[in-house]
Chain A
C-alpha cells in the first residue's frame, strides 16, 4: 500500500515537472516584448529628457514632422505639408484632418498649439522643460484654423524642423493633461501615436496597446498604420547577460541594449537578426575646462590628442564596435566639415612630446612635466560606467608616457550629474546624442550655456556669433559655412577629445520582423509600426 502511494506521488511529481517546464518560452501571440536596461522617470515629454522616455513616447504620440532614416530628410508627420516665410520667421503647418487621439477625440491645431506651448512653458500651470531651447526663440504658436498651425519666431532658426522631429514636440491631449495633472505620463496618457497607454509598472514594464484607427505613420516606414501587433511590452531587464539569453531563448523579442562585448557572439546566432543604423550620432568624449590651470594651455590639450591612440581605445573599450572619432561632429551628420577633421591632432606620441617641449613643459624627476613651477597634472570626473573606467585607465597610461598625470574620479550616476555641474574638476567624460552639427555645437559651445551643458567654460565671442548665425541661417550653405568655422576653430583649440562614435544595432529574435534601427536621439525602434510577429 505504502509502495503504491509512493509510486503515485513520484508519478504526480514527474507530471507536474513536465507541465511546469513545458513551453518555457511561450509569449502571447501578437505581442512583442522589447527589452531595455532602465526605465524612464515618467512619460511626459516636457518633464523628462530620458532616452527611455523617448523610446515609448514616439510610440504613444506623434510630432508635426518626422525624421527619415538618413537623419537629414524631414518628412511629414501630423503636418501633411508646411510653408516657411521668406524671412524664415513664420512656419505654417497644414495638419492632417484624419488624426484622432487614442480615446477617439479628433486631433486639431488647437491641441498641437497647446502641446508646443506647454513645451516652451507658456501654458498654465507652467511646465519647465529642460530642453525648451530646442523649440527656438518663439514669438507665438497659435492655431489659425481647425487644421492650420502658425509657428512664429523672433529670429530665424534653421534647425527648427529637425528639432520638431524629437519627442519633446509630441502632440498631447489638453484634456488628459488637465485631468491627470502631475500624474500625466505617470498614471496615463492620451496621444495620437500608433500605440496607446496600457499600463505602467515603474522599473518593471510598460504595456502599450494598438491604436486601431491609426493611419498617419511617417512615410519613411513601410507600414503607415495601424500597427501589426496588438501589444508592445517594454520590459526592464537590468542584467545584460539575462537580456542576451532572453533574446536567444525567445523570452523577449527585440532590444538594442546588448553590450558590445556580446556582439560578435550574437552575430553567429542564426535565429537573431541584426539591423544597424549607419547614421547614428551618439558620441563619447573627454572635455577640458579651458579656464582651469594646466588644461587651459592649448599645448597640453593638443598633446593629449596626440598621446591617445583612439583606435586602440575603441578596440579595448568597445570591443572594436564603435567608430574611431576625430572631429567633434560625425562625418554623416548634416553640416559636418571634412577639413576640420584633418585639423584635429592625430595620434603620435613623439609629436605629443615635441608639442609639450616646445610649449616649455619640461620633464620632472617624477616623470610628470613641469612649467613655471606647475606640474602637468589634472583631475577628471565622470560617471562610473565600465566604458569610463576602461577609457580612463587607458588614457591615464598613455598620458603618463608623455609626462602628463591624469587623476580620475568616477561617481555613481546618482551623484555624478551634481558633481559635473561644479567647477571642482579640470576634465570630464560624457556621451551625448545629436541631430546635426548645429545641434551638437549649439548645445555645448555657446557661452550662455555655461556651466552646464557647456562644462568646458568655453566663452568665445566669435564662436557665439557663428553659432547664432548658424541657428538663424535659412540658407543651408550659409549654415554649413558657419558650422564649419566653429568645427575648425575647435579642432585647432582642442577643447575636447572625441573618443568614439557608438553604433546603433537593434537585435531581433526569430518571432519578429520589421525591427529596423532608427537612432533618432538614441531611440532604436521608432514608432514600431513595421514590427510584426512571423
Chain B
C-alpha cells in the first residue's frame, strides 16, 4: 500500500511542475505588460522601466521562472499588482468559501445521485427508471450558469425563498446556510446526473453477479440484496467517478461563484485575469490546479483502499 501511495505521489510531482510551467508561460504570452498595468495609463517610459526592473521582468524567461520557483518554495506567491496585498493572504481569505461551497455541493449531490441511480437500477426498465435517466441526462447537459440563473430567477426572485447575492455570513449562522443553498444546489446539480447514471450501471452489473444470486438464493428480500450486496460492490467505480467529477467541480465553482457573487477562489481568478493582476492570476491557477491534482491523488489512494486488486497490481 505504501509503495502504491509513493508511486502515485511521485507521478503527481511532475504534473504539478508542468502546471507551474504552463501557468507561468501563459502569463508570458498574454499580450499585456504587467509593468504597464502597474504603472498606469499615463506613466512615463522611465517609470515603466523601473517597475519592470523591480518585478524582475527585464531578466530572461528561464531566470524569471527560476526566481518564481524559488519564491514558491518559500510559500511566496508574490503581491497583487492591483492592491499590494500578498497573494497568499487573498487566497487564504477565499479558499474557505470555495471549500465550503464544494463541500455543500457534494453533501447533497452524491447521496442524491447514488439514491436515484439505485432506485433506477432496482426498477430498471420501468417508467421511473426512464424518468430518472432523463433527469440525469438533463443534469449533465444543462450548463452551470443556466441552472444558476434559473434558480436565481425562480427561487430567489419570484418566490423570494433564498438569497443569491454573496455569502451571507459564517457557515454556522442561519444567514450563512441560507446564502449557501442556491450556489450549492447549482454546483451540485452538475454532479447528480453522472453519479446517478454510473450508480445505475454499476448496480445493474452487480445484480447479475454470483454473490448476489447466492444472496437471493438464501431468501433475502430484494431491497436488502440491492442495498447490502449489490450497492456496496457497485460503489468502487462510482467513487472513481466522484473523484474525477470533484476536480471538474472546481471549474464549475468559477462560474457558480461569479453568478452568485460568492467570494471564493474561482471568482478571485476571474477578477484577477480580467484586471491583468498576474501574480494573483498565477496564484489562483496554482491553487485550483493543485486542488485538482490533490483530489485525483486522494481518489487513487482511496481506490486502492477499496479494491485490494489495485494495490496488488
Contacts and interface: CB of A to CB of B under 8 A. Distances in A.
B30 A201 contact: no
A9 to B, nearest CB: 14
A249 interface: yes
B90 interface: yes
B157 A248 contact: yes
A239 B186 CA distance: 15
Given A203-B267, A203-B271, A21 B162 contact: yes
Contacts of A128: 40, 42-44, 47
Interface in A30-62: 33, 35, 38-39, 41-42, 47, 49
Given A21-B178, A24-B178, A415-B30, A42 B166 contact: no
Nearest to A416: B32
B36 A245 contact: no
A130 B42 contact: yes
A121 to B, nearest CB: 11
Q: In terms of DSSP, what is the predominant structure of the interface of chain B?
A: loop
A41 B261 contact: no
Given A249-B157, A414-B273, A183 B164 contact: no
A1 to B, nearest CB: 19
B183 to A, nearest CB: 11
B69 to A, nearest CB: 25
Contacts of B161: 21, 24
Chain A, interface size category, equals 35 or more
Contact of A249 (B32, B36, B83, B156): B156
A529 interface: no
B152 interface: yes
B40 A415 contact: no
B37 to A, nearest CB: 8
Contact of A186 (B33, B43, B85): B85
A241 B165 contact: no
Interface string A383-405: 00000000000000000000000
A313 B263 CA distance: 38
A238 B152 contact: no
B258 A239 contact: yes
B259 interface: yes
Nearest to A35: B165
Given A21-B162, A128-B43, A130-B42, A245 B32 contact: no
A33 to B, nearest CB: 8
A418 B152 CA distance: 37
Nearest to B267: A203
Contacts of A20: 162, 174, 177-178, 181
Nearest to B83: A186
Contacts of A203: 263, 267-268, 271
Given A128-B43, A205-B166, A242 B181 contact: no
Contact of B164 (A33, A39, A187, A246): A246
A204 B261 contact: yes
Contacts of B260: 242
Nearest to A186: B83
B31 A245 contact: no
Contacts of A38: 274
A24 B153 contact: no
Given A42-B83, A239-B258, A414-B273, A245 B156 contact: yes
Contact of B85 (A25, A202, A249): A202
Nearest to A182: B84
Contacts of A412: 274
Given A41-B83, A202-B85, A237-B165, A249 B160 contact: yes
Interface in A250-295: 250-252
Contacts of A237: 165-166, 261
A477 interface: no
A246 B155 CA distance: 12
Given A24-B163, A41-B82, A414-B30, A245 B152 contact: yes
B93 interface: yes
Contact of B275 (A204, A235, A251, A414): A414
Contacts of A130: 40-43
Interface string B199-218: 00000000000000000000
B149 interface: yes
Interface string A64-102: 000000000000000000000000000000000000000
Given A204-B261, A418-B31, A251 B163 contact: yes
Interface in A168-184: 182-183
B285 interface: no
Q: Nearest 10 pairs between A and B by C-beta?
A: A245-B157, A130-B42, A203-B271, A21-B161, A414-B276, A204-B263, A249-B157, A41-B82, A186-B83, A237-B261
21 contacts: A20-B178, A24-B161, A24-B163, A186-B83, A202-B80, A202-B83, A204-B261, A235-B166, A237-B261, A238-B261, A239-B149, A239-B261, A241-B153, A245-B153, A245-B164, A246-B164, A414-B32, A414-B274, A415-B32, A415-B276, A418-B33
Given A25-B163, A202-B83, A238-B270, 16 more contacts: A24-B160, A42-B82, A47-B40, A128-B42, A186-B85, A202-B85, A202-B271, A239-B261, A241-B152, A242-B165, A245-B152, A250-B160, A251-B164, A412-B274, A415-B276, A418-B31
